[in-house]
Structure 1
Amino acid sequence: MQQRIVFVEDDRDLAELIGDYLRSYGLDVTHIDRGDTAVEAILADPPDLVMLDIMLPGKDGLTVCRELRPKYAGPIVMLTSLNSDMNQILGFELGASDYVLKTTPPSVLLARLRAHLRQQTTQAPAAVMQTTTGTHDARAVLDFGSLQIDSINRSVHYAGESISLSTADFDLLWLLACHAGKVLSREDLLFSLRGVHYDGLDRSIDVAVSRLRKKLGDDPAEPKRIKTIRHKGYLFAGDAWRNDPVA
């Protein structure tokens, strides 16, 4: 089945150029040229991926991303000419899955889009864990005492409460949790989640980990659940959740 992308871009010539390129590689691309019509159109017929410019008439792309994310579970890729750290950080904070410059070669853009589309259908490693309700396939549920992560419903519960996460943040948490007790480098995380290599400057993983810690009650000054391993990466400490006083 052909995977479908909605491309929100006010430059019609650029949208046609990129759309034709992606179509030549088997993707179905729909073009929307205004921000103020994008959210309603996307939610009416959700695509597999949304590609979103920032500078749009009617409503800017960051606002579209913010309004779309709570209701749309697929990847949102910001494709923009605005090369600033603040815009990148803000995009990720609002739920963007990736931030790509328009100067990126089309072949690299295609590779990154395919990585996000693959991530949507990638199954987590097979394993079996014991939960409070019996034996569950870990491809469906991971249970760490005070924290439960359900990959089928893409839901997270901590201390008995539902935690709202963006698609990108859920994917990061799931990847860390599937490798509990193992240090994952930024290179590991970026390549697994977005199909790109760590350039030594990208802070999106750090920002996302900080967001997860805040939502899951992990002290950012002295994290004990999602630990920073200096010069190496991040470690999800499974036992720390089981020993949580709220468990």
Structure 2
Amino acid sequence: MENERTVLVVDDDAKLRSLLKDFLQGEHWQVRTAADGLEALAAVRAQRPSIIVLDLMMPKLDGIEVCRRVRQTSQVPIIMLTARDDEVDKLLGLEIGADDYLVKPFSLRELAARMKAILRRTEGMSGKFAGEGADQNPSADDSLQYGELRLNSRLHTAELQGRPLTLTPIEFSMLELFMRHPQQVFNRLQILDATHGFAFEGYERTIDAHIRNLRKKIEQDTHAPKYIQTVYGIGYRFGGGNSGGEHDV
């Protein structure tokens, strides 16, 4: 698949675009660039990148609006870049569908590591990167069911009451973690490690934003969730006191 290693870098800073392009090409990525939000949307439609690195502050359309519009038609992974260490900006980006964020200035190696970690959780990506064959026949270990939720990790599909769910890679990875370990309590750093491939203090609140997004997609009442329970002072667990997840806690 010719675009499986394609990244779209969107930033109005020409020097940063050039720096990121040179570095990521050295990491064996195909790199496309855009200088503003309108160029970014056109590039997403035309080039269908594997992942987007998206600046928050840009002319014409800012990163928040670009992310919002991309999420209307695509679940391509998005890493948001922000020049301000502002919790509101970061959480807003995550709330509308960004998978991760980095605050400028950032380490190029860290950016590359995060890109790879997110793509490892997209459909069949780890096997493709390793040169493995893609076996599309799901096994029992690939299929999970809890209450009215069904998930298949090999086919990267999730359903609620028989209806397909549209999940970002991080949301899918998070749901798979919970469904494989019902009743187990996970703190935020554990969820970060499982879903992002790394965990460190200061990014735990990103989990709260992803949890809110996931609840909107699977819970009938987000204020009285049936599936994803908050364990106050610790983190989250999946399901209540019964294995079928049919009753609120």
TM range (shorter): 0.7 to 0.9
- The answer to whether the 8 A contact 2:219-2:226 is kept is no
- The answer to whether the 8 A contact 2:229-2:240 is kept is no
- The residue type paired with residue 65 of structure 1 is C
Residue aligning to 2:24: 22
Size of the alignment, in residue pairs?
233
Please state if 1:110 is matched with 2:116. Answer: no
Which runs of 5 or more residues in structure 1 are unaligned?
Answer: 124-134
Aligned partner of 2:213 among 188, 207, 211 = 211
Residue aligning to 1:137: 140
CA distance in 2, matches of 1:113, 1:165: 18
Residue aligning to 1:129: none
Q: CA RMSD in A?
A: 2.7
CA distance in 1, matches of 2:241, 2:146: 7
Equivalent positions of 1:29-68 (< 5 A) are: 29-68=31-70
Q: 1:155 to 1:33 in 2, by over 3 A?
A: same
- The residue type paired with residue 99 of structure 1 is Y
TM-score normalised to the size of structure 2? 0.81
Residue aligning to 1:126: none
% identity of equivalent residues: 31
Residue aligning to 1:234: 236
CA distance in 1, matches of 2:241, 2:145: 11
Aligned partner of 2:171 among 169, 172, 178 = 169
CA distance in 2, matches of 1:53, 1:158: 34
Which runs of 5 or more residues in structure 2 are unaligned?
Answer: 128-137
Deviation at 1:165, TM superposition (A): 3.2
- The answer to whether the 8 A contact 1:78-1:91 is kept is yes
- The answer to whether the 8 A contact 1:95-1:168 is kept is no
Please state if 1:80 is matched with 2:77. Answer: no
Residue aligning to 1:148: 150
CA distance in 2, matches of 1:17, 1:191: 28
- The residue type paired with residue 6 of structure 1 is L
- The answer to whether the 8 A contact 1:148-1:158 is kept is yes
Residue aligning to 1:191: 193
Deviation at 1:189, TM superposition (A): 1.4
